[in-house]
Structure 1
Amino acid sequence: MNVIYPLAVPKGRRLCCEVCEAPAKRVCTACTVTYYCGPVHQRADWGSIHEKICQLLIPLRTAMPFYNSEEERQHGLQQLQQRQKHLIEFCYTVAQKYLFEGKHEDAVPAALHSLRFRMNVHGLNSVELVPAYLLLAEASLGLGRIVQAEEYLSQAQWTVLKSTDCSNATYSLLHRNLGLLYMAKENFEEARYHLANDVSEIWHKYLNDHYQVLSQARVQQIDLLGKQFVNDTGLADEAQEAEAIRILTSILSIREPTSDKAPRKTVLVLKTLAMLYYLMMDSLKAHEYAARALSLAQEHLSVEEQNVIQELLTLITTEEEQPITS
């Protein structure tokens, strides 16, 4: 590890610690552009991410050179932004790897770097900041820092609420972390609610991709064997099928009693179960859940959303009338 010398801060200039943003007292002598409040945070950052990106930070944190033309200056700015985008993904991936390995302390500095680079590139209010907030929340939960995790999740929620361009994957991660937070706070009802959101959205996206391909094949009258349809679900055996059904029906039991408050979420689970049974070649069960989804959609959802479920029900009904033999 590089030797870190005490820092003589020029008068009127405030330098902040890379990890905690407290006033800095030390500088990394390898890059000379990274500062720390003391040896503890310096070692933490070095072991987590700084050793891997030390030299990459130099062009990002030093003054841009003099350019002879505006074209050259714009090219230089583009290169700078590309470097930052690369570091966003690299630091995020490193932090994720630490979390998968259960190294929550090591994940924090790497996730902080990803967050700061995201702020530099996308601004302070962009939904692009949310994945980094969620990594930091997950790491904080793993370290038992409930208040800190709640702060990161509040930032993530607020950013998502203000955004009109948030992916399903981001929503899913947000619900998962909120579920884990409420579990840590022993509020199990809220935990179940958010974890159900996470799981049902993941299953719906996964099965919907397979359903779209398969339904097009049926409409085009492509002759595929029933066994091939089962394999297309990605559920290789009956145990996996049973587990999927168990999870989704458990989520449905949470959703249905309050379906008038959040009908779209209940319809989502019913539709997901219908697609799952359809892909498993169980037309009777598929028809049952699709019909329930349509009935609820007709009460609460738009005509466009009703039509999507009606198409699924029509396809299932056709299969009941003209079963495919394996």
Structure 2
Amino acid sequence: MNEIYPLAVPKGRKLKCEVCEAPAERMCGACTVTFYCGVAHQRADWTSIHEKICQLLIPLRTTMPFYNSEEERKHGREQLVQRQKHLIELCYKVSQKYLFEGKHEESVPAALHSLRFRINVYGANSVQVVPAYLLLTEASIGLGQIVQAEEYLAQAQWIVLKATECSDEIQSLLHRNLGLLHTAKGNYEEARYHLANDIYHASCEYGTDNIRISAAYFLMANVFLHQKKMDVAGSLYTKVTDIWHTYLDQPIQNQLHAIKKPTDILAKELENDTGLDEPQESEAIHILETILEIREHTVEEKSQTTIKILKTVAMLHYLMMNLSKAHELALKAYLLSRELPNKEEFEALRELLSLIASKNPVTLKSAKFYNQTL
């Protein structure tokens, strides 16, 4: 982290802060191609994303080498674009992960990087820049900066309006952020309208029972919860739980089958893998643990809905190798299920606990207990 020395700056070049675009007074000493208005923004950028991409920025922000032929020049430009596309996705996913973890301030610099690289590669008016504007919208809403959120959202809406074609995925994200904005402002009817459109476009893109649509149902349920319409909210939370339960149960069943008939199954079936990237895992944890908290405060503890969400969250933590947490939640669901007539669910939870115990030496002795309780 260095101050800028005048002789090190090319004559006539105006340096801007990476975070706010104000005149820069400091330079990153590691890459020497990134500048800041002061220590606060330098630290914010480093914490958010710069530490991960510091060295990757050097070839993008330095003069291209001399090429002997047009073919070499073309190849060099193509490599430059590919590097930027890589950074677009990396910065986007990092920003997304921060949002799902509730770290709105940390998500902003990463989202700004994604936006700038998108503009460089696709142009300022391309629909490809919309997702980055929507990340910034969501971060601003989380920070309570409603005016700033409206500005980012207006820019995204204008681009979509001007576009000749726009995918259902982008339309879904746009309506989702409009729903979030109206929810934050207490305009619940408007929020429901946009979230209904989010569900429609997400269904067109992914199907009605895909995990990618679960967030739309979840946000709609939250609006009904704000309106104290508990029955409707509850049915939507159940829909979200069912989607994730179906998705997570498949690898669990694969592992159980592999244990029973190991010669029929590849060794890969015994490996723990959610099939999700880090932002998706963070989103799943946020959604499912929020529903669990709501269920535990609004539904009878021994109900089937409480048991199912406990099991679903337990499966997620198991596949993420958070074995202690998975054991805690599965055991709670198991003990509650003993007092209900659904013996099939009781057996499924016993098998899940045995599976968790098989991967966790701390709880391995518990497997004998589960097998003895039938």
Q: Classify the TM-score, shorter chain.
A: 0.5 to 0.7
Instruction: Quote the residue 1:152 is aligned against.
Output: 152
Q: Structure 1 residue 193 and structure 2 residue 193: aligned?
A: yes
- Structure 2 partner of 1:109: 109
Q: Structure 2: how far apart are the matches of 1:188 and 1:14? A: 46
SS in 2 for 1:99: helix
Corresponding residue of 2:224: none
Secondary structure of 1:65 counterpart: coil
- The whole-number CA distance in structure 2 between the counterparts of 1:11 and 1:23 is 15
Aligned residue for 1:124, secondary structure, equals: coil
Aligned residue runs from structure 1 range 188-227, under 5 A: 188-207=188-207
Instruction: Give the SS at the match of 2:27.
Output: strand
- The alpha-carbon deviation at position 241 of structure 1 amounts to 9.0
| Cα pair 1:98 1:107 within 8 Å, conserved | yes
Q: Which amino acid aligns with 2:3?
A: Y
* Alpha-carbon distance in structure 2 between the residues aligned to 1:158 and 1:183: 21
Looking at structure 2, the residues matched to 116 and 200 of structure 1 have their Cα atoms a distance apart, in angstroms, of 30
**Counterpart-to-counterpart distance in 1, 2:183 and 2:167:** 25
Cα 1:52–1:207 shift into 2, 3 Å: closer
In the alignment, the residues of structure 1 paired with residue 68 and residue 10 of structure 2 have an alpha-carbon distance, to the nearest angstrom, of: 31
TM-score, reference length from structure 2 = 0.54
Partner of 2:3: 5
Distance 1:94 1:241, change over 3 A: closer
Written as runs of structure 1 = structure 2, the 5 A alignment for 1:123-272 is 123-207=123-207, 243-244=238-239
Shift of 1:186: 2.2
- Contact in 2 for aligned 1:7/1:25 (Cα 8 Å): no
| Aligned-pair CA distance for 1:7 | 4.2
What amino acid is the match of 1:100? Answer: F
**Partners in 1 of 2:64 and 2:98 — Cα distance?**
34
- Which residue does 1:316 correspond to in 2? none
Give, in angstroms, the shift of residue 29 of structure 1.
Answer: 1.1
Structure 2 residue identity aligned to 1:157? Q
Deviates further, 56-65 or 197-206:
197-206
Once residues 205 and 55 of structure 1 are traced to their aligned partners in structure 2, the CA distance between those partners, rounded to angstroms, is 36
Cα distance between partner residues in 2 of 1:32 and 1:241: 51
CA contact (8 A) 1:67 1:73 kept: yes
Deviation at residue 136 of structure 1 after TM alignment: 0.6
Structure 1 204/78 Cα, relative in aligned 2: closer, same or farther at 3 Å?
A: closer
Write the deviation string for residues 56-107 of structure 1: whole angstroms up to 9, x where unpaired: 0000000001111111111111111110011111110111111111111110
Cα distance, 1:4 vs structure 2? 2.2
Change (3 A) 1:190 1:67: same
- Cα deviation for residue 169 of structure 1 reads 1.2
Q: C-alpha offsets along residues 239-267 of structure 1, whole Å, 9 cap, x if unaligned?
A: 9799449xxxxxxxxxxxxxxxxxxxxxx
Match of 1:46 in 2: 46
Deviation at 1:198, TM superposition (A): 1.0
Deviation at 1:42, TM superposition (A): 0.2
* Residue 14 (structure 1) aligns with: 14
The AA in structure 1 aligned to 2:47 is G
Structure 2, gaps ≥5 residues long: 211-233, 241-374
SS of corresponding position for 2:124:
coil
Distance 2:62 2:106 in 1: 27
- Report the more deviating stretch, 80-89 or 180-189: 180-189
The change in CA–CA distance for 1:61 and 1:205 in structure 2 (over 3 A counts) is: closer
Normalised to the residue count of structure 1, the TM-score between the two structures is: 0.62
Task: Tell me the amino acid that sits aligned with residue 32 of structure 1.
Answer: T
Aligned to 1:66: 66
State the SS of the aligned residue for 2:165: coil
Decide whether the 8 Å contact of 1:17 with 1:24 is kept in 2: yes
Q: Tell me the number of residue pairs that the alignment of Structure 1 and Structure 2 aligns.
A: 215
Paired residue for 2:32?
32
Q: Distance in 1 between matches of 2:237 and 2:46?
A: 46
SS of aligned partner of 1:108: helix
Return the letter of the residue paired with 1:112.
Answer: L
Cα deviation for residue 164 of structure 1 reads 2.0
Aligned to 1:99: 99
Provide the secondary structure at the position in 2 that maps to 1:75: helix
CA contact (8 A) 1:172 1:198 kept: yes
Gaps of 5+ in 1: 211-238, 246-326
| Cα pair 1:7 1:24 within 8 Å, conserved | no
Secondary structure of the residue that 2:109 maps to in structure 1? Answer: helix
In the alignment, what sits opposite 2:56?
56
